[in-house]
Amino acid sequence: MNAPVKPSKLIKGATGDWEVVIGLEIHAQVMSQSKLFSGSSTAFGGDPNAHVSLVDAAMPGMLPVINAECVAQAVRTGLGLKAAINLRSTFDRKNYFYPDSPQGYQISQYKSPIVGEGIVIAETEDGESFSVGIERLHLEQDAGKLLHDQHPALSFVDLNRCGVALMEIVSKPDIRSSDQACAYVTKMRSILRYLGTCDGDMEKGSLRADVNVSVRRPGEPFGTRCEIKNINSIRFIGQAIEFEARRQIGVLEDGGSIDQETRLFDAVKGETRSMRSKEEAHDYRYFPDPDLLPLEFTQSFVDELKAHLPELPDEKKARFIRDFGLSSYDASVLVNEQESANFYEAVLAALADKARDGKLAANWVINELFGRLNKESKDIASSPVSATQLSAIVDLIGEQTISGKIAKDLFEIVWSEGGDPRALVEARGMKQVTDLGAIEKVVDDIIAANPDKVAQVTAKPAMIGWFVGQVMKSSGGKANPQAVNDLLKSKLGL
H or E element that contains 158: strand 156-158
Closest CA to 324 of 343, 345, 338: 345
SS3 labels along 91-135: CEEEECCCCCCCCCEEEECCCCCCECCEEEEEECCCCCEEEEEEE
What distances in angstroms separate CA 213 from CA 173, 177, 238, 247, 249, one per listed residue?
9, 10, 11, 11, 11
How do 92-95 and 287-288 pair as beta strands? antiparallel
Cα 243 from Cα 222, distance rounded (Å): 19
Q: What are phi and psi of 170, to 5 degrees?
A: -100, 125
Closest CA to 120 of 333, 313, 329: 313
Cα 70 from Cα 72, distance rounded (Å): 5
What distances in angstroms separate CA 452 from CA 446, 448, 458, 459, 464, one per listed residue?
11, 10, 11, 12, 13
The DSSP 8-state label assigned to residue 172 in this structure reads: P
CB 282 → ligand ADP: shortest distance, Å? 11
How do 261-266 and 226-231 pair as beta strands? parallel
Q: Which is nearer to ligand ADP, 134 or 362 (CB)?
A: 134
CB 313 → ligand ADP: shortest distance, Å? 22
CB 124 → ligand ADP: shortest distance, Å? 18
CB 422 → ligand ADP: shortest distance, Å? 54
Q: What are phi and psi of 226, to 5 degrees?
A: -115, 150
By the 8 A CB rule, do 430 and 402 touch? yes
By the 8 A CB rule, do 396 and 402 touch? yes
Helix (H, G, I), strand (E, B) or coil at 156: strand
Alpha helix (H) residue ranges in 3-106: 68-80
By the 8 A CB rule, do 243 and 278 touch? no
H or E element that contains 350: helix 338-350
Q: Which is nearer to ligand ADP, 184 or 320 (CB)?
A: 184
Q: Which is nearer to ligand ADP, 117 or 345 (CB)?
A: 117
Helix (H, G, I), strand (E, B) or coil at 82: coil
Nearest-10 Cα torsion for 172, 175, 176, 177: -140
Tally of CB atoms within 10 A around 325: 13
CB 263 → ligand ADP: shortest distance, Å? 13
Binding residues (CB under 6 A) for ligand ADP: these are 21-25, 170-173, 212-214, 222, 225
CB 184 → ligand ADP: shortest distance, Å? 11
Q: Which is nearer to ligand ADP, 263 or 317 (CB)?
A: 263
CB 246 → ligand ADP: shortest distance, Å? 15
Q: Which is nearer to ligand ADP, 22 or 295 (CB)?
A: 22
Q: Tell me which residue has its CB nearest to ligand ADP.
A: 23
Closest CA to 477 of 406, 422, 378: 406
CB 174 → ligand ADP: shortest distance, Å? 7
Q: In this structure, is the dihedral angle defined by the CA atoms of residues 176, 181, 186 and 188, taken in order, positive or negative?
A: positive
CB 349 → ligand ADP: shortest distance, Å? 41
Q: Which is nearer to ligand ADP, 282 or 428 (CB)?
A: 282
CB 251 → ligand ADP: shortest distance, Å? 15
CB 222 → ligand ADP: shortest distance, Å? 4
CB 19 → ligand ADP: shortest distance, Å? 11
Q: Supply the DSSP string of 294-331, one letter for each residue.
A: -EE--HHHHHHHHHTPPPPHHHHHHHHHHHH---HHHH
CB 30 → ligand ADP: shortest distance, Å? 20
Q: Which is nearer to ligand ADP, 212 or 475 (CB)?
A: 212
Q: Which is nearer to ligand ADP, 109 or 171 (CB)?
A: 171
Q: Which is nearer to ligand ADP, 241 or 425 (CB)?
A: 241
Q: Which is nearer to ligand ADP, 112 or 474 (CB)?
A: 112
